Amino acid sequence: MTQLKTVAEVLDAAADLIEPEGAWTKGAFARDISGKDTSLFGYRGKAVCWCLLGATQEAAGDDDDGVADHFFAQFLGAAAQDGLACWNDAPERTQAEVVAKLREAAELARQGGL
C-alpha cells in the first residue's frame, strides 16, 4: 500500500504541473494537445494543460479526497468565495498568480497552518 500524499505534496505537484508555459488553462479541468476539453473523458494520460482543480486532482491521483482543494480554498479565503473554479477562471487571473498561490499554500501546509 502506498502512503497518501500530504496536502503540501499535492499543492506543490499541482504547481509543478501548471508552471510550464502553456500548461495552465481556464474553462476546463484539463485540455489535450489539440485544446479539446478532456474533463469529461477521463483526462489522465491525455491532458497537457490543467486548471487549478484539474491540476490538484491530477497531482493527488487516486488519493484525491478533496482535502488539498479544501485547504487551498481556506487559504484564499474571501477571494475564493465563488469557488476555486471561478477563482481560476477570473479574467484577471494569471498562470503565475495561480502557481505562486499554490506554492504559498503548500508552504503554509508544511508549517501546519490553517
d(CA 54, CA 47): 10
Looking at 1-114, which runs of residues are DSSP E strands?
Answer: 30-31, 49-50
Tell which residue, 81, 102, 44, 109, has the closest CA to residue 94: 102
pLDDT bucket at 2, cuts 50 / 70 / 90: low
The residue type of 111 is: Q
Please state the domain extents for the chain. 7-110
pLDDT (0 to 100) of residue 94: 98
Q: What is the pLDDT of residues 32-78, one digit of tens each?
A: 999 998 876 666 678 999 999 999 999 998 777 889 999 999 999 98
User: What pLDDT does 102 receive?
Assistant: 98
pLDDT above 70 coverage of the chain, percent: 92
Instruction: Please tell me which residue, 38 or 20, carries the higher pLDDT value.
Output: 20
